[in-house]
Protein backbone atom coordinates (compact mmCIF):
# COMPACT_ATOMS: atom_id res chain seq x y z
CA UNK A 1 0.00 0.00 0.00
CA UNK A 2 1.40 3.39 -1.00
CA UNK A 3 1.78 5.81 1.92
CA UNK A 4 -0.20 9.05 1.61
CA UNK A 5 1.94 12.18 1.30
CA UNK A 6 1.31 15.44 3.14
CA UNK A 7 2.73 18.89 2.47
CA UNK A 8 3.17 21.33 5.36
CA UNK A 9 4.59 24.70 4.42
CA UNK A 10 8.29 24.67 3.59
CA UNK A 11 8.81 21.15 4.89
CA UNK A 12 9.72 18.36 2.45
CA UNK A 13 7.00 15.83 1.53
CA UNK A 14 5.77 13.89 4.58
CA UNK A 15 5.00 10.22 3.88
CA UNK A 16 2.58 8.83 6.47
CA UNK A 17 2.70 5.04 6.73
CA UNK A 18 -0.43 3.10 7.79
CA UNK A 19 1.80 1.81 10.59
CA UNK A 20 1.55 5.26 12.18
CA UNK A 21 -2.08 4.50 13.07
CA UNK A 22 -0.96 1.25 14.68
CA UNK A 23 1.55 3.19 16.75
CA UNK A 24 -1.18 5.56 17.95
CA UNK A 25 -3.50 2.70 18.91
CA UNK A 26 -0.81 0.65 20.70
CA UNK A 27 0.43 3.67 22.66
CA UNK A 28 -3.14 4.58 23.62
CA UNK A 29 -3.77 1.02 24.86
CA UNK A 30 -0.58 1.09 26.94
CA UNK A 31 -1.46 4.50 28.44
CA UNK A 32 -5.14 3.89 29.13
CA UNK A 33 -4.84 1.77 32.33
CA UNK A 34 -2.77 4.45 34.05
CA UNK A 35 -5.16 7.19 32.99
CA UNK A 36 -8.26 5.24 33.93
CA UNK A 37 -6.97 4.84 37.45
CA UNK A 38 -6.62 8.58 38.01
CA UNK A 39 -10.28 9.05 38.84
CA UNK A 40 -11.33 10.09 35.35
CA UNK A 41 -14.24 8.48 33.59
CA UNK A 42 -13.63 5.72 31.09
CA UNK A 43 -14.47 8.07 28.23
CA UNK A 44 -12.20 10.82 29.53
CA UNK A 45 -9.39 8.29 30.09
CA UNK A 46 -9.76 6.93 26.56
CA UNK A 47 -9.77 10.42 25.04
CA UNK A 48 -6.72 11.40 27.07
CA UNK A 49 -4.86 8.25 26.00
CA UNK A 50 -5.73 8.88 22.36
CA UNK A 51 -4.81 12.57 22.60
CA UNK A 52 -1.43 11.80 24.16
CA UNK A 53 -0.73 9.16 21.50
CA UNK A 54 -1.58 11.62 18.70
CA UNK A 55 0.61 14.28 20.32
CA UNK A 56 3.41 11.72 20.39
CA UNK A 57 3.18 11.42 16.60
CA UNK A 58 3.22 15.22 16.37
CA UNK A 59 6.36 15.13 18.52
CA UNK A 60 7.97 12.62 16.16
CA UNK A 61 7.08 14.88 13.23
CA UNK A 62 8.66 17.87 15.01
CA UNK A 63 11.75 15.72 15.66
CA UNK A 64 12.09 14.76 11.99
CA UNK A 65 11.25 18.26 10.75
CA UNK A 66 14.13 19.58 12.87
CA UNK A 67 16.46 17.07 11.19
CA UNK A 68 15.16 18.12 7.78
CA UNK A 69 15.51 21.86 8.38
CA UNK A 70 19.00 21.60 9.86
CA UNK A 71 20.14 19.30 7.03
CA UNK A 72 18.79 21.79 4.49
CA UNK A 73 20.59 24.61 6.30
CA UNK A 74 23.90 22.78 5.81
CA UNK A 75 23.27 22.35 2.10
CA UNK A 76 21.98 18.77 2.09
CA UNK A 77 19.20 17.76 -0.28
CA UNK A 78 16.20 16.58 1.77
CA UNK A 79 14.07 14.06 -0.09
CA UNK A 80 11.24 13.38 2.36
CA UNK A 81 10.13 12.79 5.95
CA UNK A 82 8.54 9.43 6.73
CA UNK A 83 6.27 8.64 9.68
CA UNK A 84 6.27 4.88 10.26
CA UNK A 85 5.34 2.15 12.70
CA UNK A 86 8.63 2.77 14.54
CA UNK A 87 8.41 6.54 14.66
CA UNK A 88 9.97 8.19 11.66
CA UNK A 89 13.05 9.08 9.67
CA UNK A 90 14.30 11.84 7.40
CA UNK A 91 15.82 10.98 4.03
CA UNK A 92 18.50 13.43 2.93
CA UNK A 93 21.69 13.45 0.89
CA UNK A 94 24.72 15.65 1.37
CA UNK A 95 28.25 15.46 0.03
CA UNK A 96 30.99 15.74 2.68
CA UNK A 97 28.86 17.47 5.31
CA UNK A 98 31.68 17.39 7.84
CA UNK A 99 31.80 16.52 11.53
CA UNK A 100 30.14 19.66 12.88
CA UNK A 101 27.27 19.55 10.39
CA UNK A 102 26.67 15.83 11.02
CA UNK A 103 26.60 16.34 14.79
CA UNK A 104 24.25 19.34 14.58
CA UNK A 105 21.86 17.55 12.21
CA UNK A 106 21.84 14.46 14.44
CA UNK A 107 21.20 16.35 17.69
CA UNK A 108 18.61 18.73 16.26
CA UNK A 109 15.89 16.07 16.54
CA UNK A 110 16.30 15.40 20.29
CA UNK A 111 16.63 19.17 20.79
CA UNK A 112 13.20 19.66 19.23
CA UNK A 113 11.74 17.14 21.69
CA UNK A 114 13.47 18.96 24.54
CA UNK A 115 11.80 22.21 23.44
CA UNK A 116 8.40 20.45 23.27
CA UNK A 117 8.99 18.99 26.74
CA UNK A 118 9.68 22.47 28.11
CA UNK A 119 6.61 23.87 26.35
CA UNK A 120 4.25 21.15 27.62
CA UNK A 121 5.72 21.43 31.12
CA UNK A 122 4.86 25.13 31.06
CA UNK A 123 1.33 24.42 29.85
CA UNK A 124 0.96 21.84 32.62
CA UNK A 125 2.03 24.41 35.20
CA UNK A 126 -0.72 26.73 33.97
CA UNK A 127 -3.37 23.99 34.30
CA UNK A 128 -5.29 23.17 37.45
CA UNK A 129 -3.75 20.13 39.22
CA UNK A 130 -5.58 16.89 38.52
CA UNK A 131 -7.58 18.20 35.57
CA UNK A 132 -7.53 16.43 32.21
CA UNK A 133 -5.41 19.28 30.80
CA UNK A 134 -2.87 18.84 33.58
CA UNK A 135 -2.70 15.08 32.94
CA UNK A 136 -2.40 15.60 29.16
CA UNK A 137 0.49 18.04 29.34
CA UNK A 138 2.28 16.09 32.07
CA UNK A 139 2.24 12.91 29.98
CA UNK A 140 3.23 14.78 26.81
CA UNK A 141 6.16 16.36 28.63
CA UNK A 142 7.30 13.00 30.02
CA UNK A 143 7.04 11.27 26.64
CA UNK A 144 9.04 14.01 24.90
CA UNK A 145 11.74 13.78 27.54
CA UNK A 146 11.80 10.01 27.07
CA UNK A 147 11.91 10.40 23.28
CA UNK A 148 14.79 12.87 23.50
CA UNK A 149 16.79 10.74 25.95
CA UNK A 150 16.19 7.52 23.98
CA UNK A 151 17.38 9.15 20.77
CA UNK A 152 20.45 10.51 22.53
CA UNK A 153 21.65 7.00 23.37
CA UNK A 154 25.14 6.65 21.81
CA UNK A 155 24.46 3.78 19.43
CA UNK A 156 23.28 3.50 15.85
CA UNK A 157 20.69 3.98 14.46
CA UNK A 158 19.79 6.54 17.19
CA UNK A 159 20.66 10.21 16.78
CA UNK A 160 23.16 10.06 19.63
CA UNK A 161 24.87 7.21 17.83
CA UNK A 162 25.07 9.22 14.61
CA UNK A 163 26.54 12.18 16.49
CA UNK A 164 29.10 9.93 18.21
CA UNK A 165 29.86 8.25 14.89
CA UNK A 166 30.69 11.64 13.35
CA UNK A 167 32.77 12.70 16.37
CA UNK A 168 34.76 9.46 16.45
CA UNK A 169 35.31 9.61 12.71
CA UNK A 170 36.64 13.17 13.01
CA UNK A 171 38.82 12.56 16.08
CA UNK A 172 40.20 9.18 15.00
CA UNK A 173 40.45 10.10 11.34
CA UNK A 174 38.62 6.86 10.52
CA UNK A 175 34.93 7.22 9.70
CA UNK A 176 34.43 3.48 9.29
CA UNK A 177 35.84 2.73 12.76
CA UNK A 178 33.41 5.26 14.23
CA UNK A 179 30.57 3.49 12.44
CA UNK A 180 31.61 0.05 13.69
CA UNK A 181 31.93 1.19 17.32
CA UNK A 182 28.56 2.96 17.41
CA UNK A 183 26.83 0.12 15.55
CA UNK A 184 27.96 -2.40 18.17
CA UNK A 185 26.78 -0.04 20.92
CA UNK A 186 23.45 0.08 19.08
CA UNK A 187 23.25 -3.70 19.15
CA UNK A 188 23.89 -3.66 22.91
CA UNK A 189 21.08 -1.12 23.37
CA UNK A 190 18.75 -3.35 21.35
CA UNK A 191 19.44 -6.21 23.77
CA UNK A 192 18.84 -3.88 26.76
CA UNK A 193 15.48 -2.75 25.33
CA UNK A 194 14.24 -6.33 25.67
CA UNK A 195 16.17 -7.20 28.83
CA UNK A 196 14.66 -4.40 30.96
CA UNK A 197 10.93 -5.30 30.59
CA UNK A 198 11.81 -9.00 30.72
CA UNK A 199 13.71 -8.45 33.99
CA UNK A 200 10.68 -6.65 35.43
CA UNK A 201 8.38 -9.49 34.43
CA UNK A 202 10.69 -12.06 36.03
CA UNK A 203 11.01 -9.91 39.15
CA UNK A 204 7.23 -9.64 39.42
CA UNK A 205 6.91 -13.41 38.82
CA UNK A 206 4.49 -12.93 35.99
CA UNK A 207 2.63 -10.11 34.34
CA UNK A 208 -0.72 -9.15 32.95
CA UNK A 209 -1.76 -8.49 29.40
CA UNK A 210 -0.35 -4.94 29.54
CA UNK A 211 3.08 -6.22 30.55
CA UNK A 212 3.03 -8.74 27.72
CA UNK A 213 2.02 -6.02 25.25
CA UNK A 214 4.89 -3.85 26.50
CA UNK A 215 7.33 -6.75 26.10
CA UNK A 216 6.05 -7.45 22.59
CA UNK A 217 6.47 -3.78 21.66
CA UNK A 218 9.98 -3.84 23.16
CA UNK A 219 10.84 -6.89 21.04
CA UNK A 220 9.68 -5.13 17.89
CA UNK A 221 11.63 -1.97 18.74
CA UNK A 222 14.72 -4.01 19.60
CA UNK A 223 14.45 -5.83 16.28
CA UNK A 224 14.32 -2.49 14.46
CA UNK A 225 17.35 -1.21 16.39
CA UNK A 226 19.33 -4.40 15.76
CA UNK A 227 18.55 -4.28 12.05
CA UNK A 228 19.54 -0.61 11.86
CA UNK A 229 22.86 -1.31 13.60
CA UNK A 230 23.47 -4.35 11.40
CA UNK A 231 22.82 -2.33 8.23
CA UNK A 232 25.34 0.25 9.46
CA UNK A 233 27.94 -2.50 9.97
CA UNK A 234 27.24 -3.90 6.50
CA UNK A 235 27.54 -0.42 4.99
CA UNK A 236 30.86 0.12 6.78
CA UNK A 237 32.17 -3.20 5.49
CA UNK A 238 31.04 -2.35 1.95
CA UNK A 239 32.63 1.10 2.15
CA UNK A 240 35.91 -0.43 3.33
CA UNK A 241 35.88 -2.74 0.31
CA UNK A 242 35.11 0.19 -1.99
CA UNK A 243 38.08 2.14 -0.62
CA UNK A 244 40.45 -0.73 -1.42
CA UNK A 245 39.50 -0.77 -5.10
CA UNK A 246 42.22 0.37 -7.51
CA UNK A 247 41.66 0.37 -11.26
CA UNK A 248 45.34 -0.21 -12.04
CA UNK A 249 45.59 -3.14 -9.62
CA UNK A 250 42.30 -4.71 -10.76
CA UNK A 251 43.13 -4.60 -14.46
CA UNK A 252 43.78 -8.04 -15.95
CA UNK A 253 46.48 -8.08 -18.62
CA UNK A 254 44.70 -8.77 -21.90
CA UNK A 255 45.80 -9.14 -25.49
CA UNK A 256 43.32 -7.26 -27.70
CA UNK A 257 42.60 -8.68 -31.14
CA UNK A 258 40.13 -7.82 -33.88
CA UNK A 259 37.23 -10.14 -34.74
CA UNK A 260 38.70 -10.97 -38.18
CA UNK A 261 42.06 -12.11 -36.84
CA UNK A 262 42.53 -15.81 -37.49
CA UNK A 263 43.33 -18.43 -34.89
CA UNK A 264 46.69 -19.30 -36.47
CA UNK A 265 47.98 -15.80 -35.73
CA UNK A 266 47.45 -16.30 -32.00
CA UNK A 267 50.04 -19.02 -31.79
CA UNK A 268 49.79 -22.42 -30.18
CA UNK A 269 51.05 -21.32 -26.75
CA UNK A 270 48.73 -18.33 -26.36
CA UNK A 271 46.66 -18.24 -23.18
CA UNK A 272 43.20 -17.81 -24.66
CA UNK A 273 41.83 -16.59 -21.29
CA UNK A 274 44.11 -13.55 -21.71
CA UNK A 275 42.75 -12.71 -25.17
CA UNK A 276 39.88 -10.28 -25.68
CA UNK A 277 38.23 -9.89 -29.05
CA UNK A 278 37.18 -6.29 -29.58
CA UNK A 279 34.85 -5.30 -32.41
CA UNK A 280 35.36 -1.54 -32.70
CA UNK A 281 32.89 -1.29 -35.59
CA UNK A 282 30.07 -1.91 -33.07
CA UNK A 283 31.09 1.05 -30.90
CA UNK A 284 28.34 3.31 -29.59
CA UNK A 285 28.85 6.68 -27.87
CA UNK A 286 30.59 6.05 -24.56
CA UNK A 287 31.90 2.61 -25.54
CA UNK A 288 34.94 1.23 -27.35
CA UNK A 289 32.93 -1.47 -29.06
CA UNK A 290 31.63 -4.95 -28.32
CA UNK A 291 33.89 -7.47 -26.58
CA UNK A 292 34.06 -11.25 -26.99
CA UNK A 293 35.91 -14.00 -25.13
CA UNK A 294 37.31 -17.02 -26.98
CA UNK A 295 35.97 -20.41 -25.88
CA UNK A 296 39.12 -22.59 -25.46
CA UNK A 297 37.22 -25.81 -26.18
CA UNK A 298 35.76 -24.41 -29.40
CA UNK A 299 39.15 -23.08 -30.49
CA UNK A 300 40.82 -26.44 -29.78
CA UNK A 301 38.21 -28.22 -31.89
CA UNK A 302 39.22 -26.32 -35.04
CA UNK A 303 41.45 -28.56 -37.20
CA UNK A 304 45.02 -27.31 -37.72
CA UNK A 305 44.42 -27.09 -41.46
CA UNK A 306 41.58 -24.63 -40.94
CA UNK A 307 43.14 -22.39 -38.25
CA UNK A 308 44.69 -20.03 -40.78
CA UNK A 309 41.27 -19.13 -42.18
CA UNK A 310 39.06 -19.36 -39.07
CA UNK A 311 38.44 -15.94 -37.49
CA UNK A 312 38.53 -15.73 -33.71
CA UNK A 313 34.97 -14.40 -33.77
CA UNK A 314 33.81 -17.86 -34.92
CA UNK A 315 34.87 -19.42 -31.60
CA UNK A 316 34.08 -16.53 -29.27
CA UNK A 317 31.08 -15.59 -27.17
CA UNK A 318 29.88 -12.08 -26.48
CA UNK A 319 30.85 -10.38 -23.23
CA UNK A 320 28.98 -7.19 -24.06
CA UNK A 321 30.00 -3.63 -24.69
CA UNK A 322 33.27 -2.40 -23.25
CA UNK A 323 33.99 1.03 -21.77
CA UNK A 324 37.10 2.97 -20.84
CA UNK A 325 38.54 3.70 -17.38
CA UNK A 326 41.52 5.76 -16.29
CA UNK A 327 44.15 3.74 -14.43
CA UNK A 328 44.34 6.42 -11.71
CA UNK A 329 40.75 5.83 -10.53
CA UNK A 330 40.35 4.44 -7.03
CA UNK A 331 37.69 3.83 -4.41
CA UNK A 332 34.50 5.88 -4.62
CA UNK A 333 35.70 7.67 -7.77
CA UNK A 334 36.08 4.33 -9.57
CA UNK A 335 32.66 3.10 -8.47
CA UNK A 336 31.04 6.42 -9.45
CA UNK A 337 32.41 6.22 -12.98
CA UNK A 338 31.35 2.59 -13.37
CA UNK A 339 27.83 3.30 -12.05
CA UNK A 340 27.43 6.34 -14.28
CA UNK A 341 28.00 4.17 -17.36
CA UNK A 342 27.43 0.53 -16.35
CA UNK A 343 29.00 -1.98 -18.73
CA UNK A 344 30.18 -5.60 -18.34
CA UNK A 345 33.83 -4.74 -19.03
CA UNK A 346 36.19 -1.77 -19.14
CA UNK A 347 39.56 -1.18 -20.76
CA UNK A 348 41.94 0.44 -18.24
CA UNK A 349 44.22 2.96 -19.87
CA UNK A 350 47.33 4.68 -18.50
CA UNK A 351 47.86 8.44 -18.76
CA UNK A 352 50.14 7.86 -21.76
CA UNK A 353 47.28 6.07 -23.60
CA UNK A 354 48.80 2.60 -23.10
CA UNK A 355 46.29 -0.15 -22.32
CA UNK A 356 46.98 -1.65 -18.91
CA UNK A 357 44.32 -4.36 -18.95
CA UNK A 358 40.64 -5.17 -18.58
CA UNK A 359 38.34 -4.85 -15.57
CA UNK A 360 35.29 -7.12 -15.55
CA UNK A 361 32.30 -5.69 -13.68
CA UNK A 362 31.51 -9.16 -12.35
CA UNK A 363 34.93 -9.26 -10.67
CA UNK A 364 34.32 -5.91 -8.97
CA UNK A 365 30.88 -7.02 -7.80
CA UNK A 366 32.43 -10.16 -6.35
CA UNK A 367 35.00 -8.13 -4.42
CA UNK A 368 32.30 -5.85 -3.01
CA UNK A 369 30.34 -8.91 -1.85
CA UNK A 370 33.45 -10.35 -0.18
CA UNK A 371 33.86 -13.22 -2.61
Three-state DSSP class for residue 306:
helix
**Given the residues 64, 165, 321, 353, the one annotated as active site:** 64
Q: Is residue 60 a contact partner of residue 38, using CB atoms and an 8 Å limit?
A: no
Q: How far apart are CA 212 and CA 162, in angstroms?
A: 31
Q: How far apart are CA 103 and CA 110, in angstroms?
A: 12
Q: How far apart are CA 359 and CA 324, in angstroms?
A: 10
343 φ/ψ angles, rounded to the nearest 5 degrees: -140, 160
Q: What is the DSSP string of 12-51?
A: PPEEE-THHHHHHHHHHHHHHHHHHTTT--HHHHHHHHHH
Dihedral through CA 88, CA 92, CA 95, CA 100, nearest 10? -50
Q: Angle of helix 175-203 relative to helix 209-243, nearest 10 degrees?
A: 170
Residue 138's contacts (CB-CB under 8 Å, 6 or more residues apart) are: 120, 124
Q: Is 353 a catalytic residue?
A: no
Q: Is residue 95 a contact partner of residue 145, using CB atoms and an 8 Å limit?
A: no
Catalytic residues: 64
Amino acid sequence: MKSPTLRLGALPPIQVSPGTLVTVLVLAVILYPGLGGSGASATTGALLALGIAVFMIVSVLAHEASHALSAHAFGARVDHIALTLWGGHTQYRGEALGTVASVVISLSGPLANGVLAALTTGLGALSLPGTPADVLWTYCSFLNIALALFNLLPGLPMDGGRALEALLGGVLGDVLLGTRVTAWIGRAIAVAVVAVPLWRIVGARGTGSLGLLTLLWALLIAGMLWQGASRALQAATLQHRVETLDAAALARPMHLVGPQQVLAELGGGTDLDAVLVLDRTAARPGTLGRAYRIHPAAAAAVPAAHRDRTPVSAVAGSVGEIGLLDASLRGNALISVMLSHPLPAYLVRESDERARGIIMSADVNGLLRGR
